[in-house]
Amino acid sequence: MKGRVLPGGADWQIVRSDGVAELDTRYTLETDDGKLIYVQNAGIRHASPEVTAQLMAGQPVDPSLVYFRSVPKFETSAPELAWLMRSIFVGTGERYPADVVLRFWKLA
């Protein structure tokens, strides 16, 4: 399944003194076939000080150098997607200068 983030979400970060960013994001996804999914995604992101400085400067960074993991929760009124609300998922993220790519996996 693929989707895009709709305008109007929110993204909070707490950057701890050890450089770890605690993430709390909330947004709505629209699937390729027009279904809406509300996502509340909590996670953490960290990298070496050098890589973090590059990220903060908006420079491209190899995603393998950044630990970016999350635990999303989904809500939807689409009956065919109700399974999203009955499962646990984990996610990975990749941050780029102009966007973020998130991938989610359902735990068996």
| Domain extent at residue 76 | 3-40+50-91
How many domains does the chain divide into?
Answer: 1
104 in a structural domain:
no
pTM (2 d.p.): 0.85
14 in a structural domain:
yes
83-92 per-position pLDDT tens digit: 999 999 999 9
14-70 per-position pLDDT tens digit: 999 998 999 999 999 999 999 999 999 999 999 999 999 998 898 999 999 999 999
Q: Report the CATH number that the domain containing residue 58 is assigned in CATH.
A: 2.40.160.20
Tokens 């992101």 map to which residue?
A: 45
| Residue 4 CB-half CA count within 13 A | 6
- pLDDT at position 56 is 85
97 in a structural domain:
no
CA-to-CA distance for 81 and 67, rounded, in angstroms? Answer: 29
The string of DSSP letters for 2-67 reads -EEEPTT-EEEEEE-TTSPEEEEEEEEEEETTS-EEEEEEEEEEE--HHHHHHHHTT----GGGSE
Give how far the C-alpha of residue 88 lies from the chain's centroid of Cα atoms, to the nearest Å.
15
- pLDDT at position 98 is 85
101 in a structural domain:
no
96 in a structural domain:
no
